[in-house]
Amino acid sequence: MAKIVGGVATTHVPSIGKAIADKKENDPYWQPFFRGFDYVHDWLARQKPDIAVVFYNDHGLNFFLDKLPTFAVGAAGEYRNQDEGWGIPVSRSIAGDPALSWHVINALVNDEFDITMCQDMLIDHAVTIPMTLMWPGEKWPVKIVPISINTVQHPLPSLKRCLALGRSVGRAIESYPQDLRVMVVGTGGLSHQLDGKRAGFINKEFDQLCMDKLSGEPDTLTRYTVHDVVAEAGAQGVEFLNWMAMRGALLGQVTELHRNYHIPISNTAAATVVLENGEGAERRAA
Amino acid sequence: MTQDIPGTTMFDGDQAQKGFALNRMCFSFNSAENRAAFLNDEDAYCRKFALSDAQRAAVKSRDVLRMIEAGGNVYYLAKLAGIFGLNVQDIGAQQTGTTVEEFKAKLVAAGR
């Protein structure tokens, strides 16, 4: 049976892609962020996942505002990146696992999540940057199942719904008959705001509260509405929805193994966490 | 339009309807060919996407707050800003009426 080994959440700011291309990882500005990945690399080397299920939000590469799914699951054999218009290098493609994707799709719809199915889906920096951060300069050793969550055009799904989505994905994976080692990834955040007179807004206290509750008490965060999250974490801080979905997929005893938090990277409070999915269950029926 | 969070415009159904033409034009800037076409003849390019008068004026002014007022979504506007070599610190400074250095200093201060 497939096993979920744990999860990684990380910021996905586009300029990280530029910094990698320009080899600036050890510059004083970037080093506090990149050094947070040393632990992640060791953890990945120990865990050797075969699959990464990536919860992320598309920023106008695959989806425009004409047809914007709340939740979309990729079911392609290969996912391509393309020019996103803001000058970051185009990433190489990432392999998919269509059989696992369809298993997840069937399970989600059976669980009454009315998702969109994508047999052809471009992936943007919100997938490619975390992948490059986790496996820098090498061939990616995993195949991916990308799951896109709308964090762009309101109304957005609630934190509660994203946590439930993640739990459904977690149950789907644990019921998959192949012996695969699966990790889950949540990308984006934490607090930041790019637009309006409040541009540059960052809220360290709220970010820390979210990270403190994420591993052990994620349900307590569902009392925040999306509107609350915009108020507390900034207009783009709602990318925390991806973190909630990632956390939901971890159905075992969850322990935070690593946390790196640094302000600022670009306009963002940058954060990286590694969560272990231990034995002993918090498995839920719904 | 929800405006109850100070300095924040929720990109909701009202904004999405208002900004559709402008955001569609910015979506086209994922292509280098289209970015070149915009630079080559901005008026013609904006006409092709049927921008409203307010959107055309906002784009002409290069004023991000005016573009948001006209329904622009920041992820799409960032593709337009990229044509002029402006990043999110540049547009952050513009929107908050500070210099880029002051804006960056404010971000650093948020970490203390």
| pLDDT reported for residue A137 | 79
Would an 8 Å CB–CB cutoff place A136 in contact with chain B?
no
| pLDDT reported for residue A225 | 98
Number of domains comprising chain B: 1
- Nearest Cβ partner of B29 from A85, A200, A204? A85
| pLDDT reported for residue B3 | 55
For B46, the domain range is: 13-85
Identify which of B68, B58, B97, B89 has the alpha carbon closest to the alpha carbon of residue B8: B68
Q: What are the structural domain ranges in chain A?
A: 3-281
Instruction: Give A65-131 as a DSSP string.
Output: TTS--SEEEE--SEE-----SSSPPPPPPEEB-HHHHHHHHHHHHHTT---EEESS----HHHHHHH
The answer to whether residue B78 sits within a structural domain is yes
| pLDDT reported for residue A283 | 57
The answer to whether residue B24 sits within a structural domain is yes
The fold of A3-281 is Protocatechuate 4,5-dioxygenase; Chain B (3.40.830)
What's the rounded mean pLDDT across residues B75-81?
97
Would an 8 Å CB–CB cutoff place A61 in contact with chain B?
yes
Decide if A264 and B110 are in contact by the 8 Å CB cutoff.
yes
Tens digit of each residue's pLDDT (9 = 90 or more) over B59-68: 999 999 999 9
What's the rounded mean pLDDT across residues B11-24?
98
Identify which of A14, A98, A2, A16 has the alpha carbon closest to the alpha carbon of residue A50: A2
Decide if B16 and A153 are in contact by the 8 Å CB cutoff.
yes
Alpha helices in B1-112 (DSSP H): 13-18, 20-27, 32-40, 42-48, 53-61, 64-69, 74-83, 88-96, 100-109
B97: burial class by Cβ within 10 Å (0-12, 13-18, 19+)?
Answer: exposed
pLDDT along chain A (286 residues), means of 10: 97 94 96 98 98 98 98 98 92 97 98 98 98 91 98 98 98 98 98 98 98 98 98 98 98 96 97 92 52
| pLDDT reported for residue A282 | 57
This model of the complex carries an ipTM of: 0.96
Distance of CA B108 to the CA centre of its chain: 24
Q: How far is A197 from chain B (nearest CA, A)?
A: 4
Q: What is the CATH number of the domain that holds B58?
A: 1.10.700.10
Decide if B88 and A194 are in contact by the 8 Å CB cutoff.
yes
Decide if B65 and A197 are in contact by the 8 Å CB cutoff.
yes
A50 close to A143: Cβ distance less than 8 angstroms: yes
φ and ψ of A260, to 5 deg? -130, 130
Would an 8 Å CB–CB cutoff place B21 in contact with chain A?
no
Would an 8 Å CB–CB cutoff place B17 in contact with chain A?
no
Identify which of A154, A71, A56 has the alpha carbon closest to the alpha carbon of residue B8: A154
- Residue A279 structure tokens: 């034995």
Would an 8 Å CB–CB cutoff place B111 in contact with chain A?
yes
Cis peptide before A163 (omega within 30 of 0): no
CA dihedral A81, A83, A85, A87 (to 10 degrees): 100
- Nearest Cβ partner of B23 from A65, A196, A236? A65
